[in-house]
Amino acid sequence: MIEVEQLSKRYGGTLAVDDVSFRAPSGRVTALLGPNGAGKSTTLRILLGLARPDGGRALINGTGYRELDEPLKQVGALLEAGAVHKGRTGYQHLRWLAESNRLPVARVRIVLEQTGLAARGRTRIAGYSLGMTQRLGLAAALLGDPGVLVLDEPLNGLDAEGISQLRSLLRQLADEGRTVLVSSHLMAEVARTADHLVVIGCGRVLADLPTAELIARHVAPGVRVSCAEPARLADLLRSAGAVAQQTPDGALAVTGVTAAEVGALAARHQLALDGLSRTAGSLEDAYLNLLKEA
């Protein structure tokens, strides 16, 4: 369990983290989501004892990181690609980490397997792609078999297959009862992985809610309509107070009116419709709306 309580941190004139509170319970994938510079890394660095807060506190299993017993067995962390010895192989790097932290060396093979690096364990890190370096960081985080995982932008550099594998791995780790906290600025990718979102912008919490609720609260369902005279229909819809935008395929994406109202308006003006359907708002739209509202 992770608890962040009224955390703040200032760097000169910048309030990087401004009274941030949230919880990440065990058994759940929680995403800390926000644009670049929102304060995600600073929050995670404080949580991991790498920066001191000006106010508030961040606890892991009820304790500050620096007070944890055998921290690597309790918390696995992936921060921005840290210092690794590029001349070593992935296997050697993890083995060195295990030995220097008194962790069982048998864990090395397990985490290489878990992160899809088993076939590249004997390759020098200098030859790793960004995605492979990211997997190696994740393998290092998992080495102590920790109950809490804190991963800063773990999706960065991964290709579609890597993202899908990471998603399954995070889900599995949470299903095993672990606490998984992931930061990202990529709404679409995170939404399919996380159960719960903590959205931050300019150092403040803008939303703290189940992923599914974000759509319901922050995006209006819309209508998709196509006809032979989209520009005319768009004018009519706008006069009726709706927001209508032409999509690349020539249809109109409309919000602010129901599908029935669009149908009735078209009928009144004798416009034949080719298609009319309701659309759900996308998470990406919900996220952008939320940031805009803030």
Ligand X SMILES: Nc1ncnc2c1ncn2[C@@H]1O[C@H](COP(=O)(O)OP(=O)(O)OP(=O)(O)O)[C@@H](O)[C@H]1O
Q: Which residues bind ligand X (CB under 6 A)?
A: 11, 14, 16, 34, 36-42, 185
Say how many C-beta atoms besides its own lie within 10 A of residue 47's C-beta. Answer: 27
75 has which bridge partners? Answer: 148
Q: Is residue 71 within 8 Å of 120, Cβ to Cβ?
A: no
Cα distances (angstroms) measured from residue 270 to each of 232, 235, 236, 246, 282: 11, 14, 12, 20, 32
For residues 80 and 175, which CB has a smaller minimum distance to ligand X in the complex?
80
Strand 55-60 relative to strand 28-33: parallel, antiparallel, unpaired? unpaired
**CB-count burial class (<10 Å; 0-12, 13-18, 19+) for 194:** buried
For residues 6 and 14, which CB has a smaller minimum distance to ligand X in the complex?
14
Amino acid at 203: G
For residues 15 and 110, which CB has a smaller minimum distance to ligand X in the complex?
15
Say how many C-beta atoms besides its own lie within 10 A of residue 85's C-beta. Answer: 12
Residue 11 CB, nearest approach to ligand X (Å): 3
For residues 21 and 74, which CB has a smaller minimum distance to ligand X in the complex?
21
Residue 193 CB, nearest approach to ligand X (Å): 17
Residue corresponding to tokens 């992931």: 182
Say how many C-beta atoms besides its own lie within 10 A of residue 44's C-beta. Answer: 25
Residue 79 CB, nearest approach to ligand X (Å): 10
Residue 34 CB, nearest approach to ligand X (Å): 5
For residues 41 and 179, which CB has a smaller minimum distance to ligand X in the complex?
41
**Distance, CA of 276 to CA of 260 (rounded, Å):** 9
Residue 207 CB, nearest approach to ligand X (Å): 15
